[in-house]
Amino acid sequence: MTPGDQLLLATTRHSTARATALAALSLTSAGAALLLPAALGRAVDRLLAHDAGATRWVALCAVLLTAPAALDALADLLAGTTAARSTAWLRHRLLRHVLAAGPRATADAPPGDLVTRLVGNTADAGAAPGALAAAVASAAGPLGGVVALALIDPWLAVAFLAGAPLLVLLLRAFARASTDCAARYQRLQGDIAGRLAEALTGARTIAAAGTADRERARILRPLSGLSRQGHRVWRVQGRAAARAVTLVPLLQIAVLAVAGLRLSQGRISVGDVLAASRYAVLATGVGMIVGQLSGLVRARAAAGRLAEVLAVPAPAYGTRPAPPGDGTLELRGVTAVRGDRIILCDVDLTVPGGTSVAVVGRSGTGKSVLAALAGRLADPDAGTVALDGVPLPELSHDALRHAVGYAFERPALLGGTIGGTIAFGAADPGHEAVTAAARAACADGFVRRLPEGYATPCAAAPLSGGEAQRLGLARAFAHAERVLVLDDATSSLDSPTEREVGRALLHDVAARTRLIVAHRASTAARADRVVWLDDGRVRAAGPHAELWRLPEYRAVFGA
C-alpha cells in the first residue's frame, strides 16, 4: 500500500460512520432497483393471466420506482456532507503538518504548489469515502444483475458471463490510464500555481523590469502540458465509452437471444423475459462504475500528492527545560546539505553569552542556513547545535522558542494588528512589554502615529520596508530570552536607526546574545566578533577591524 493509499484509508476511517450510512442508503437504492425488474415481470405475468393479485404487484412496482429517488436524494446530501467533513479533516491535518515542519515544507514544494495541494487536492481526496461507498453500490447493480439472471435461468447468466472478461479488461485499462493522467494533470496544476505565486511576490520587480509578457509566458508554459493531459483524459474516457457502446449492446442482445430461446422452449415466462432484459441492462452498468472509478482515481492521485507533503519530517522536540546559562550558542562540526549541494561543511562556531557575532560572506555561502540551524528552524545533516551546553533537539518546544528569537529581512506581519504582530507567538506579553519592545526597535514612534495606534489592523497600515523590519525586530525583542538571531534584519533601516537598534540590543533587550547575518560593513563593525564564511566553511574569524586589513574580506562588502 502506497503512502497515498494509506492516507485515503485513514480518511475513510475518519468518516466511517457517514460512509457506512451512505453505503447503506446507496445499497438500499440499488436493492430497490434490483427488485423492480422481478416485480415488473411478476406483474406482467399476473396481468396476462388475469390474476386478481396483479394489483398488489403493480403497487409494489410503483413503490420500487419512487423509493430509489428519495433514497438517492438522501444519499446525495450525505455524500456532500461526508466529502466536506473529510476535506476539512485533511486540510487541518496537512496545515498542522506544514506549519510544524516549517521551512522544510517549502524546500521541495513552492508555496503556490502547497496551496494547490491544501485546497484542490484535499477536496479531491476528501471525496474518496463517498466515492468508495457509491462505488460499492454501483458494483452491486452489475453483480446483482448477474445473480438475478442466474436465478431466472442459469443459461442467461452464462450468456452474459461469456463476455464479462472483456468488461473487466475495459475497466482495468481505464483505471490505469486515468490514474496516470490524473497524477500528471494535478502536478502541472501545482507547477502553474507555484509560478504564479512567485510572480505575485515579485510583482514590483516585474513591473520595474518591464517583463510582464515574459513572466506571463513563463507562468503559462506548463499550460500546453496541462492541455495535453486534459485531452488525454477525454481520449481515455472516449475510448472506454466507445468500447462500452460496442460491447454492452452485444451482451444485452446475447442475453435477450437466450431468453427468447428459453421462452420458446417454455422454460421461462414472458415476465421473466421482461425481467431478464432489465437485469441485462443492470449487469452491463459500466457507465456508473466508470464514473465512480474516475472519482476514486482523482482521489488516489491527489492523496499521493498530499502524502508527499506529510512525508516531510517535522522536528521532534525533547522535554528538557532551558538550562541555567547566559545564552552561549555552540555549533560543532555542523554540515548542511540541500539537494546535491553541501551548503555548510564542518562549521565550528561559538557565540559566548552576552556577545554578538556577525556572520558575513558572499551570497550563497550558507549564512542564512547557519542562522536557521542556530535556532533549529532546520537541523544539520551532521554535527550538533547546543544552547548553554544542551543540544537543541533535547529542549522542549516552548523552552527553545522562548529562549531563541528570530528577526528576518522580510518579516511576515501575522498578528492581525500592529500590537498583535509584536505579541505574535506569546501567550500574553502585556501591553507594556509590547510597547517596550517597539521602543527598543525604534518602532513606537511611527506606530503611535497610525490611526488606531497599536490596534491598527496590519492591512490598514501602509508600512515601508524599514518599518516592517522594525516590527519584526520588536517581535523578536519581545519573545527572546537568551539569544537573538538576526537574519539581515536591519538591511532596510537607515544608519541612524540601525545605530539606535544596536544600542537597544545592548541595554534594552532581555536576550543579550546575538547572531547577526550581516551584509553591511557597519553592522559587522558593531559586532564583538566576525565569522567569515566562504564556500560553506569558516575562512576566518576575529574582530572586524583586523579582518578589514584583508583585501578579500573588504571585497565581500564591495569595498
List the 382-387 sheet strands across, edge first.
Answer: 341-351, 329-338, 382-387, 390-391
Instruction: State which amino acid sits at residue 179.
Output: T
Give the per-residue pLDDT at 52: 74
Give the per-residue pLDDT at 390: 94
**Residues whose CB falls within 8 Å of the CB of residue 311, separated by 6 or more in sequence, listed in order:** 3
Give the per-residue pLDDT at 246: 67
Give the per-residue pLDDT at 244: 66
Model pLDDT for residues 198-241, shown as the tens digit of each residue = 887 777 778 877 888 888 888 888 888 888 888 887 777 777 76
For the chain, state the CA radius of gyration.
Answer: 34
Containing 351, the helix (H) or strand (E) segment is strand 341-351
SS3 127: coil
Question: How far is Cα 91 from Cα 542, in angstroms, rounded to an integer?
Answer: 49
Helices (H), 102-210: 105-108, 111-116, 122-126, 128-152, 154-161, 164-201, 203-209
Read off φ and ψ for residue 220, nearest 5 degrees: -90, 0
SS3 539: strand
Question: How far is Cα 130 from Cα 121, in angstroms, rounded to an integer?
Answer: 16
Burial of 172 (0-12, 13-18, 19+ CB in 10 A): exposed
> pTM of the entire structure?
0.74
Question: How far is Cα 523 from Cα 500, in angstroms, rounded to an integer?
Answer: 12
* CA atoms within a 13 Å half-sphere pointing along the CA-CB vector of 330: 13
Q: What is the DSSP string of 211-276?
A: -HHHHHHHHHTTHHHHHHHHHHHHHHHHHHHHHHHHHHHHHHHHHHHHHHHHHHTTSS-HHHHHHH
Read off φ and ψ for residue 109, nearest 5 degrees: -120, 120
SS (H, E, C) 420-475: HHHHCCCCCCCHHHHHHHHHHCCCHHHHHCCCCHHHCEHHHCCCCHHHHHHHHHHH
Cα 211 to the chain's mean position, in Å?
A: 31
Domains and CATH numbers, the chain: 3-310 (1.20.1560.10), 329-556 (3.40.50.300)
Model pLDDT for residues 265-323, shown as the tens digit of each residue = 888 888 888 888 888 887 776 556 666 777 788 888 889 989 989 988 888 899 999 88
CA distances from 348 to 393, 394, 488, 531, 538 (A): 18, 20, 21, 10, 8
**Mean pLDDT in order along the chain per 10 residues (559 residues):** 88 88 86 86 84 83 85 86 92 89 77 86 89 79 84 87 75 72 83 83 77 86 86 76 70 85 86 85 69 78 90 88 91 89 91 91 89 90 93 92 88 84 76 87 88 87 84 87 87 80 76 88 89 91 92 85
CA distances from 246 to 163, 235, 241 (A): 12, 16, 9
Question: How far is Cα 243 from Cα 235, in angstroms, rounded to an integer?
Answer: 12
Question: How far is Cα 23 from Cα 21, in angstroms, rounded to an integer?
Answer: 5
Residue in this structure with the C-alpha cell 554578538, named with its chain if needed: 356
Give the per-residue pLDDT at 488: 82
* Contact between 407 and 486 (Cβ < 8 Å): yes
